[in-house]
Amino acid sequence: MGDERRSTTKDDFAVIHLCEALASGIMKVVVPLANATASAGIPTVVIHGRRPETPQELAPMFESRVRLLDVPGWGQRSGYDGFASAVRAAATLRRELARHERGVLHMHSTYAGLVGRLVPSAGWTRFYTPQGYAFLNDSHPRPVRLTVFAAEMLLARRAHVLACSLAEGAEAAEQLRSRAVSVVQNGLDMDALPSLAPEPNGRLVVASIGRVVYQRRPDLFAEVAALLHGEDARFVWLGDGPERSTLARAGVSVSGWLSQEEVVSAMLGANVIVHFSAFEGLPLALLEAMTTGRAIVASDLPVIREVVADTAILVRTPTEAADAIRKLSGDEARRRELGVRARDRVRRLYTKDAMVGRTLAAYGLGDLTDAAAAPERAPRP
């Protein structure tokens, strides 16, 4: 199947990552986790689906010993195709579990969590990272959200929740009454941080980054663009998605899917980066924006406050966002101050090494990395 790398031996212990769509933020979490265990000689498998933004060639991102199993159609969430692909994912998972005596099964995102917790896995320790609970997505009809919430409640005891933020951990503990919850915040590779560059001169460029879907509230970004229409500002969205027409109608330029290098270059070509959100786990797109040294205007949500603290301007409405952008447009020193402090915060608190080390400590494999020396928020279950 696709990028599958075959093995013929039945190993005693393995690590399996299950992710419905290996793309965007989830990919940036799964790749370093899988590479860490594979590099240590532990059989490591990634069972995944795809989205349009998933790179065609995944193998070069992974350590050569990671087995990649591409489940056709997984990532399509509508109708029969969505159900059929979930059944295929469950069958693939059952086969992989049978190849090994025991190990760690780590499920990334709500849909992977549903599949992974329904498949019997005696002898395996299950971990679940929601990366933003789907029942918080109020673009779904209320009956759908209630069904997903009920499923989460029923399955809550079938895995240890490795929440990716303090806010997500609180959701798991308080709303779902999960008994086993640890927090391992997402992190970035510090060796790959972009070099700081001067802001572009001339017309103010306001950018947003990510998939153009309800979660990222493109409607609010479009409204801000409309509020600032006629002023000396250009609005761009770095990414693509099903709601791009909402942006186009407001005169926002939509880049389409870009490589990571192109995204970084485009962010450095902006003066202000806006991060609207309806709900989040812990947004890697926001962390990446913070590393560019650009001023950020973001939704005032608990998880975003957790990430940015006082290094961004938090807003509740498009009007507040437009006002913030107006003030920033005439204050280059303020933009520079916010950008430098945001970058420093990521370097101190949201590193890939800390994320990997604390996750491995939760798995019970803390001796694999020095970063596991301080797993304060990820006690071993």
Note whether residue 3 is domain-resident: no
Mapped onto helix, strand or coil, the DSSP state of residue 381 is coil
Name the pLDDT band for 83 (thresholds 50, 70, 90).
Answer: confident
Radius of gyration, CA atoms only, the chain: 21
* Same domain membership, residue 178 and residue 49: yes
The total number of structural domains in the chain stands at: 2
* Same domain membership, residue 261 and residue 217: yes
* Same domain membership, residue 144 and residue 216: no
Mean pLDDT across the chain, nearest whole number? 91
Note whether residue 206 is domain-resident: yes
pLDDT tens readout for residues 93-132: 999 999 999 999 999 999 999 999 999 999 999 999 999 9
* Same domain membership, residue 258 and residue 166: no
Note whether residue 88 is domain-resident: yes
Q: What is the pLDDT of residue 9?
A: 46
Query: What DSSP element (H or E) covers 328?
Result: helix 318-329
* Same domain membership, residue 223 and residue 175: no
**Where does 100-204 have alpha helices with state H?**
110-118, 142-155, 166-170
pTM of structure: 0.89
* Same domain membership, residue 209 and residue 136: no
Note whether residue 4 is domain-resident: no
**For position 212, which CATH number holds?**
3.40.50.2000
Does 282 score more than 50 pLDDT? yes
Note whether residue 5 is domain-resident: no
Query: What DSSP element (H or E) covers 6?
Result: none
Provide the β-strand partners of residue 19. Answer: 48, 108
Note whether residue 178 is domain-resident: yes
List Cβ neighbours of 311 (8 Å cut-off, separation of 6 or more): 290, 296, 338, 341, 342, 345
Name the pLDDT band for 192 (thresholds 50, 70, 90).
Answer: confident
More confidently predicted of 144 and 307: 307
Phi, psi of 190 (to 5 degrees): -70, -25
Tell me which residue range forms the domain holding 128: 13-187+351-373
* Same domain membership, residue 343 and residue 235: yes
In contact, 354 and 377? CB cutoff 8 Å: no
E strands present in 226-378: 233-238, 253-254, 272-275, 295-299, 313-315
